[in-house]
A and B are shown apart, each in its own frame.
Chain A
Amino acid sequence: MATHILKQPFDPWQAIVNHQQNTSSQKQFGATASFIGTMRDFNDNAEVSAMTLEHYPAMTQHYLEKLIDEANTKWDLLDVLIIHRVGEIKPSEPIMLIACWSAHRRASLDACSWLIEELKHRAPFWKKETRADGEHWVEKNTDGL
């Protein structure tokens, strides 16, 4: 189980490969589910040229670990990896990776989906978008549809 908050761009696919190579449960998992959130160049019909992600470092770390602990009580997971960017992000750069490993598919698929929603509602990150008319704080998350 691991969480990372990164100030620099990262390659989520490579992060999954690296994590898998170092996990002790390599021969036990039969399923890997992953979600990658990537920055769009539009929001609310406006062009967005960059985004800055602020966070509350101590609480973020605490909540990501807490979410993983809660997921482990709900599903039979072999491993979980969460990576989240902070700082300045450009369109097409990954913002977040959640990957879950389990023996069978249902646990990792359901845990991954649950972790995305819980992270978005509980982890203290805030997005500020740079648009042509200046910087704007994102007031609430989209409903994901």
Chain B
Amino acid sequence: MSIQVKFFASLKERLNIDDHDIDSAATAGEVWDITTNNAERPDNVLVAINLEYAQFDSAVKAGDEVAFFPPVTGG
């Protein structure tokens, strides 16, 4: 089972990256490094694991959905 990775909004555009799956990673930060090819991570990037806000050192496991996005601006 793989890890599903998603990007949203300005971050997705800036990185010019599509959602995709990766085989494995230990932390959300490692997911970022693998999927962005070690792109520099802007300070304000947020991460969610399985629809909950998380930290970049939060553990991830097979079957997780990991999402990266800029500060939210709804409402």
Mark B residues whose CB is within 8 Å of A.
6, 8-10, 13, 48, 51, 53, 65, 67, 69-75
Tell me whether A45 is interfacial, beta carbon within 8 Å: no
Mark A residues whose CB is within 8 Å of B.
37, 53-56, 58-59, 62-63, 84, 95-96, 116, 119-128, 137-141
**A–B complex contacts, Cβ < 8 Å, 20 sampled:** A54-B8, A54-B9, A58-B51, A58-B65, A59-B51, A59-B67, A84-B74, A96-B75, A116-B75, A119-B74, A120-B72, A120-B73, A125-B72, A127-B73, A127-B74, A128-B9, A137-B13, A137-B70, A139-B10, A141-B73
Measured CB to CB, the nearest residue on chain A to B65 is A58
Asked whether A96 lies within 8 Å of B70 as measured between CB atoms, the reply is no
Asked whether B75 lies within 8 Å of A141 as measured between CB atoms, the reply is yes
Interface of A is mostly: mixed
Do A124 and B75 contact each other (CB < 8 Å), given the known contacts A54-B8, A58-B51, A59-B48?
A: no
Do A126 and B67 contact each other (CB < 8 Å), given the known contacts A54-B8, A137-B9?
A: no
Instruction: Give the chain B neighbours of A125 by CB distance below 8 A.
Output: 72-75
